[in-house]
Structure 1
Amino acid sequence: MNADIARHPESHPDSAGDPTGLAAPLLAGDRRALARAITLIESTRADHRAQADALLARLLPHTGQSVRVGITGVPGVGKSTFIETFGLHVIGKGHKVAVLAIDPSSQRTGGSILGDKTRMEQLSRAPAAFIRPSPAGSTLGGVARRTREAMLLCEAAGFDVIIVETVGVGQSETAVADMVDLFLLLLLPAGGDELQGLKKGIVELADLVVVNKADGDLVSQARHAVAEYRHALALLRPAVTDWTVPVLSCSALTTQGVDGVWDTITRFRDIQAASGGLDRRRADQARAWMWNEIRESLLSAFTGDPAVRAQLGAAESAVTAGTQTPAMAARALLARFRREG
C-alpha cells in the first residue's frame, strides 16, 4: 500500500485538500517528501505559508505519538557523539529517530549544525534516522516555529522518537524545553562548581542530567561529579512535580550507560502519561505556541507597516537622544499602526 501511495498520492484520502501533494507520500514514510515538506514550512513566502498550513492541517491527526526529547550541553561535552550513540541505541530498540537542531545564532556565526550532521556520520546513514538542521532566522521565535512544525512532520512520517538539540546559547534552551516531553542536560565530568556556573534557569529546566565522557581516566571523576551534581540539584525545585531529577553517567564513546539514559526517559514518559502530566504539558506548550505565534505575527505586521516604518527611525533617534521616553515613542507608533490598520 505504501509504495502505491507514494506513486499515486492523489489516490490517498489524506491528499484531499492538500495542494502540495506531499501528505500521502509523507504519511507513507517517503523521506524525500518529508524533506520537501520541511523546506516548505521554512519558507517565508505567503503562498508557501498557506500551503504549509494546509499540509499541517492534513497531517495533524497523525502527530503526537512520539517521544520528544530536548538535549542541550555545555561546550565540549560531546553532544554530537552522544546524540549519534543514543540515536543508534534507540534505533536498535526498534524505533525511528529524527534529530532536529535549533540554532538562532547561526545566521551571525555560521553555526555548527551542518558540522554536527557530518559528525553524526553513522546515524545520518541509518535508514531509520533523519537529521535536519533549522536554518538561521532573524528571531528565535521564527526558528522555534519551524522546529515545532518540523517535529510534527517527522511524527506524521512515522518517526516515533524526536530529538531536538540546542546549538545556540541563551533562550534557545527555554524554547526547546517548551516543545519537548523531557529536557536533558549534558555535563562534563567536572564538579559542582561547573553546575553552579551554569545559568540557574537552564538547570531548572532539566528533567534529566547526564554526565558524559565517563570513560578512561575520567571514570572516577565522573562518579564524583554525579554525586556533586545530585547534591547541587537537591537545592533546586524540579521542573516536574513528583519527579526527582536523576543524574546519570555514560560514555558516548564506549556506549556504557547509554541504555540507562533511554530507560530513564521511557520511565519518565510512562509516569507522566499515567498521571496525565504529559497531556497537561503538551496542552500548555500548544497554548504557549499559539500566543507566541500571535506575538510574532503582530510584530511582523507592525514592523512591516509603511506608516510605522516611516516614523520608526525618528522614534528611535528621539529615544536614543533622550528627548522622548521609550514608552511615549512606542505608544505613538502603535497609535499610528492602529490608525493605518
Structure 2
Amino acid sequence: MTGRRPRLSLDAYEQGVRAADRTVLAQAITLVESRNESDGALAQALLTRLLPSTGGARRVGVTGVPGVGKSTFVDALGMRLLAGGHRVAVLAIDPSSTVSGGSILGDKTRMARLSLEPSAFIRPSPSGLSPGGIARRTRETMLLCEAAGFDVVIVETVGVGQGETAVADMVDFFLVLALPGAGDELQGIKKGVLELADLIAVNKADGDGELRARTALGDLRAALRYLPRKRPSWEPRTLATSGQTGAGLDDLWRIVEEHHGALHASGELTALRSEQQRSWMWSLISERLEQAFRNHPGVAAQLPRIEADVLAGRTTPTTAADDLLATFGVVRARD
C-alpha cells in the first residue's frame, strides 16, 4: 500500500471537472501536478478533452512587494466579483522550503471570506523549487478551473522577484501592487516589473496612507512615461486602492474589462494567447530536454568530474558543455 488516493477514470475526472465538483477538481489539479509518468499521461488526456471548454476566463496576474497586502486585496476583490455574478478561482503560488520542499500554504487562511464561498475556489500551490518560484503546472491548473466554469482566474505570486515574468506570460492582465509613500512605492519594484504591468495599484490607500498614495501615484505616472508600451492598444494605468475598505476595487475591475475589450478589438488578445501557448510548448521542451540530459547514464557518470574541473578552473565552461553534449549525442554546431 502506498497511501496514495486511487485515481479516478478519465471519464470521472472529466465529468467531475465539468460539473464543478470541487473535490474532483482538486484531485484533477493534483493529477496534473504529479511527476508520476502514468499520472502525466492521464492528465494530458484529460486536458485534451477539456481544452474546447477553456479560454473564456479573465486571466489576471497579481504581484507586489512584501507587505503590500496581496492576499487581503485578492480576498476583497474576489468578494466584489462574486457579488457581481462571477465565479472566481485563485491560484496562489506559495514559497517552498529550501530544506524540505514543503509549502507554507498560508494564502487560503489569509483569504478568510473568499475561501468560504461556494462560487470561489482557492488553490495554494507549492512552487516546487522551480525557477522563479512558479508552480510547475500553474498553466494547466488554470485550464482546469476554466473548464469547471470559473470565469475569473487570479494568479497570485509570492512577491516581486518571485517569478513575475512567468506569471505575466500566462495571463491577459498583469497587476502590480505598490505601497503608498513618498518614493517608497518604487523600492523593491524592478524596472522590468513596471514594464510588465498593465496597471499599477497603490494599495493600502486608506487612513494615513491615503495622502501618501496620491504622492505615490504621481511618482509612478512619471516613471511610466519613460517606459515602452507593452501593447500598442494599451497604455498602463495607475490607481489607488484599499483591500481593507474596498476603495478603488470597482474602478480596478472596470480597467480590467476595458483592457480586455481593447485587446480583443485589436486582435492582440488572440495573438497574445497563441504566443503564450507556443512559449509554453518551448519551455516544456527545454525542461524535458534538460531532464533527459541529466538522466543520461554517460552524462550522469561524467558530470561530477566535469563540474569539479569547471569549478577548479581546469577547463572552460564551453569545453565542458561540448564534452557533455557529445556524450549525450549532440554534435557540436559549427560557428
Return the TM-score normalized by structure 1. Answer: 0.90
C-alpha separation in 1, matches of 2:130 and 2:136:
10
Match of 1:106 among 81, 96, 105: 96
Match of 1:303 among 291, 294, 298: 294
Match of 1:194 among 185, 200, 217: 185
Q: Contact between 1:141 and 1:296, CA under 8 Å: does it hold in 2?
A: no
Partner of 1:9: none
CA RMSD after TM alignment: 1.9
Match of 2:139 among 148, 161, 171: 148
1:111 Cα offset (Å): 8.1
Structure 1 residue runs of 5 or longer lacking an equivalent are 1-14
Residues 1:232 and 2:223 aligned together: yes
CA deviations over 1:217-272 (Å, ceiling 9, x no partner): 11111112111211111111122223221100011101111101111001100111
C-alpha separation in 2, matches of 1:234 and 1:27:
45
Residues 1:285 and 2:276 aligned together: yes
| Sequence identity (%) | 55
Residues 1:167 and 2:153 aligned together: no
C-alpha separation in 1, matches of 2:182 and 2:176:
14
Partner of 1:266: 257
C-alpha separation in 2, matches of 1:237 and 1:113:
37
Structure 2 residue runs of 5 or longer lacking an equivalent are 1-7, 331-335
Q: Contact between 2:130 and 2:136, CA under 8 Å: does it hold in 1?
A: no
Decide whether aligned partners of structure 1 residues 171 and 82 sit closer, same or farther in structure 2, where only a CA change above 3 A counts: closer
Return the TM-score normalized by structure 2. Answer: 0.91
1:102 Cα offset (Å): 2.5
Q: Contact between 1:207 and 1:238, CA under 8 Å: does it hold in 2?
A: no
C-alpha separation in 1, matches of 2:135 and 2:322:
29
Q: Contact between 1:67 and 1:181, CA under 8 Å: does it hold in 2?
A: yes
Partner of 2:200: 209
Q: Contact between 1:101 and 1:113, CA under 8 Å: does it hold in 2?
A: no
Partner of 1:37: 28
Off by >6 Å, runs of 4+ in structure 1: 109-112
Decide whether aligned partners of structure 1 residues 196 and 251 sit closer, same or farther in structure 2, where only a CA change above 3 A counts: closer
Q: Contact between 2:65 and 2:177, CA under 8 Å: does it hold in 1?
A: yes
CA deviations over 1:49-106 (Å, ceiling 9, x no partner): 0010111011111100000000001111111100000011111110000000224x42
Partner of 1:338: 329
C-alpha separation in 2, matches of 1:90 and 1:35:
22
Residues 1:61 and 2:44 aligned together: no
Q: Which has the higher helix share?
A: 1
**3-state secondary structure, aligned to 1:294:** helix
1:32 Cα offset (Å): 1.0
Moved more, 40-49 or 138-147: 138-147
Letter in 1 for 2:329: R
